[in-house]
Amino acid sequence: MKISDKYAQDFTQDERMTYIGGSDIAAIMGKSRWCTPLKMWAYKTGRLPTPDLSKNERVKFGKKLEWVVAEEYATRHNVKVQSRKEAYTHPRFNFLKAHVDRIIINSDKILEAKTCGAEKGKEWLNSNVPTEYVLQGNWNAGMAKRNIFSIAVLIGGNHYEEVTLNFDKQLFDMQVEIAVNFWKEYVVKNVMPPVSADDESILLEIYPKHTEDMIENQEIEDRIAYLKELENYQKEQDEEIKKIKNELKAIIGDKQGILTNKYKVTWKEITKEYPDSEKLKTDGIFENYSKITTYRQMRIDKRKDVA
């Protein structure tokens, strides 16, 4: 999809818009839980502002604790680690870079120092590492021409874990190929990448308002027809789900639930408290606590202006 020139790139907004780095690669590969390729493209082309993390306390203290994690790693392994401010740049593609947390002196290793909250700690137990950080570590090792990378994490401020992995050349070559294609085909050409099921909120951020224009596009009609089929099928499924749930409720009656060899089904009373909007209106204070939200809603209808 070609985008209007009014969204032309302005790389002066943020230095990170001028390259693809280790923290970007998982999103570009479609492997990030927090960022899709479309969202990354919106950042790189300036359609969305790069998030300002300067006031984010998790990021702030995570950066400070990076030194603690690196020192703990050095102490445990009796090695020296060194920070490097300069980015590594790919020898063929100057828009591919990597900022490595630490270099391990007199070795073929780099160190990625991480922190996370206690609620995320289980993702790191038993030598597990979230996919995003494996991809970042492999990217950084490849850019730094190192064969081993360690990832150390401080969990909840009081629990340390680490994993050491071998650099995967085949994976790195694939990462470079995907990154180069993403940059040249989408960022440079100013073309929107394919969207995913997770992009609804991103599209709304990019296109928050609409004009009165309509687009004539016959090529997409089959896709719209397929969407309508899926919606009809979903409606049938929803009806069947409701029917089976009501059958279960009828069986449970005034009891708490049902037990089978595999399942436990309960139908319990739940009490929730909500503001009484009618009373607030009667008291004349509803407007003080109401909030108006504007959003775009999609509808698909049959055209009445064509046969």
Share of the chain above pLDDT 70, in %: 93
| pLDDT tens-digit readout, 263-288 | 999 998 888 887 888 887 887 787 77
Give the distance from CA 132 to its chain's centroid: 10
**Fold classification of 5-203 (topology level):** Lambda Exonuclease; Chain A (3.90.320)
pLDDT at 42 over 90: yes
| pLDDT tens-digit readout, 57-66 | 777 777 788 8
Mean per-residue pLDDT of the chain: 87
Q: What number is the average pLDDT over the span 164-168?
A: 96
pTM confidence score: 0.79
Residue 134 has phi, psi (to 5 degrees) of -65, -45
Q: What number is the average pLDDT over the span 94-102?
A: 94
- Tell me the C-alpha distance between 268 and 7, whole Å: 53
Distance of CA 80 to CAs 64, 72, 103, 108, 225, Å? 19, 11, 9, 13, 62
pLDDT at 4 over 70: no
| pLDDT tens-digit readout, 231-257 | 999 999 999 999 999 999 999 999 999
User: Is 27 in contact with 36 (CB distance < 8 Å)?
Assistant: yes
CATH 3.90.320.10 placement within the chain: 5-203
Q: What number is the average pLDDT over the span 5-25?
A: 64
The pLDDT assigned to 14 comes to: 62
